[in-house]
Amino acid sequence: MSKPKVLVARAIFPSVLDRLSQHFDIETNQPDEVWPKEELARRMSDKVGAFTTSSERIDAAVLDACPHLKIVANMAVGYNNFDVDAMSARGVLATNAPDVLTETTADFGFALLMATARRVTESEHYLRAGKWTKWNYEMFSGSDVHGATLGILGMGRIGQGIAKRGAHGFGMNVIYHNRSPLTPDLEAACKARYVSKEELLKTADHLVLVLPYSASSHHAIGAAELALMKPTATLINIARGGIVDDAALAAALHSRQIAAAGLDVFEGEPTVHPGLLKVPNVVLTPHIASASVPTRLAMGNLAADNLIGYLVNGKPLTPLNPDILKK
């Protein structure tokens, strides 16, 4: 009996491929090419399953070219590359990889906050350029993290992880805004207080964005929101590109409307707005918040577990559209 066909759309750990090959006839992409939509659809056309990353857009056009497809497993917690409604309409299961990256991503978010507040990369560029010739009392003076007000927009698992690091590790005053407040016990664990979005913007010394991307969160931080922030504030985005209006942010950084920003995600990534590349007061990283070896391996294994769980055992671990399982 032939094995079900599965496409692995990007390079992944050999151990994950070994697991998948025990159950499926897999087509791989270890050279890690980023295929155009037409090529992705062509390669998926005879597959029942696909292993994807956030760079593969799964929309109606791709799905219509793949009549055998039953599941697409994303190796990411975010899934704005999926048109979930279109997948549900065609009976295709969508899964993601939550939880396994929470602590690693929270670690990175706090590292990015600290690097931004203390001007770490800006000062490194200065040193590497041979400009450090003497000490000066205000040379690369940044802002304190300990005891400052930490604002979090989007208080899911990762947001809570950042809140705990700030409150318990650095004695920060934590405020947050979310679609709805946390339960009292979760607020107590984070030492966090719910505020309006306007108060969050006006009060935070360091504002961290951890909300999921959707049509309603597109440009949640734009020119109007940046204008409400303190001129000494920093903005950290580890959520998704598109949540921040990158053009407005570049202008705010250039005019010093806010002090600095730290960005791991960008609109239209891997392309970065040219204005962000020209200003010195920004820390830029290429979407690596979950990039520790143990965590990336766990993400890959969870995506594999979803493929095996659904196609072999009929029980996916983290379905995004579980209603199709009832059909």
- CB-based contacts of 76: which residues, under 8 Å, 6+ apart? 53, 54, 96, 97, 290, 299
* Crossing angle of the two packed helices 157-164 and 102-117, in degrees rounded to 10: 50
Q: 269 an active-site residue?
A: yes
Q: Which of 191, 172, 182, 189 is nearest to 113 (CA)?
A: 172
Query: What is the Cα 85 distance to its own chain's centre?
Result: 21
Give the pair of three-digit tokens for residue 272: 């970065």
Catalytic-residue membership of 124: no
Catalytic residue among 165, 240, 273, 296: 240
- The CA-CA-CA angle for residues 191, 141, 114, to 5°, reads 35
Q: How far apart are CA 220 and CA 245, in angstroms?
A: 8
Decide if 128 is catalytic: no
**Which residue among 27, 103, 199, 269 is the active-site one?**
269
Q: Which of 10, 118, 165, 287 is catalytic?
A: 287
Q: Which are the catalytic amino acids? A: 240, 269, 287
